[in-house]
Amino acid sequence: MNLRKKQRGVSAEVHTSAMNDIMFFLLLFFLIASTVTNPNVVKLLLPKSSSGQSVSKKTINVSISKDLQYTVDKKVVAVADLPTVLAGYKKMATELTIVLYVDKTVAIQDVVAVMDVSQKLNIKMVLATEPK
């Protein structure tokens, strides 16, 4: 004698209790990952290099965008004012290194102009690249 009712179709159930946990962990991961990113860098397409080294002393970020906009530590600077701005940073720190971020579409003459300024001021310069 079977007292149970027969089910005519298979009932489908979706348990969403674990989805709340997954969404919380994803939200937490993206919040932590967004604080780790470096906000001091202008978005550029950098050339690739297989031998990259990091710089650990006092550094200044100088970037040249594809429309030839010169930026020194997130401040837009004209090309003519670049020597005076870098000389001001030179007075603040004895061992100064310029990290030069250049878009890969920029002509080499514009890069050499910044290198000449750093050479005249006796400041070390490093060209930033992306790893291959």
Mean pLDDT confidence for 95-121: 90
**Which residues, 6 or more positions from 100, have their beta carbon under 8 angstroms from its beta carbon?**
62, 63, 64, 111, 114, 115, 125, 126, 127, 128
Q: How far apart are CA 68 and CA 78, in angstroms?
A: 10
Of residues 121 and 52, more confidently modeled: 121
Q: Tell me which residue range forms the domain holding 117.
A: 48-131
Q: How many domains does the chain have?
A: 1
* pLDDT at 41 exceeding the cut of 80: no
Quick check: is 25 in a domain? no
For the cut 80, the answer to whether the pLDDT of residue 34 exceeds it is no
Using left for φ > 0, alpha for ψ between -120 and 50, and beta otherwise, residue 77 falls in: beta
Give pLDDT, residue 44. 65
Residue 78 to residue 93: CA distance in whole angstroms: 22
**And the tokens for 3?**
């007292």
In a domain, 75, yes or no: yes
CATH classification at residue 119: 3.30.420.270
Mean pLDDT of the chain: 81
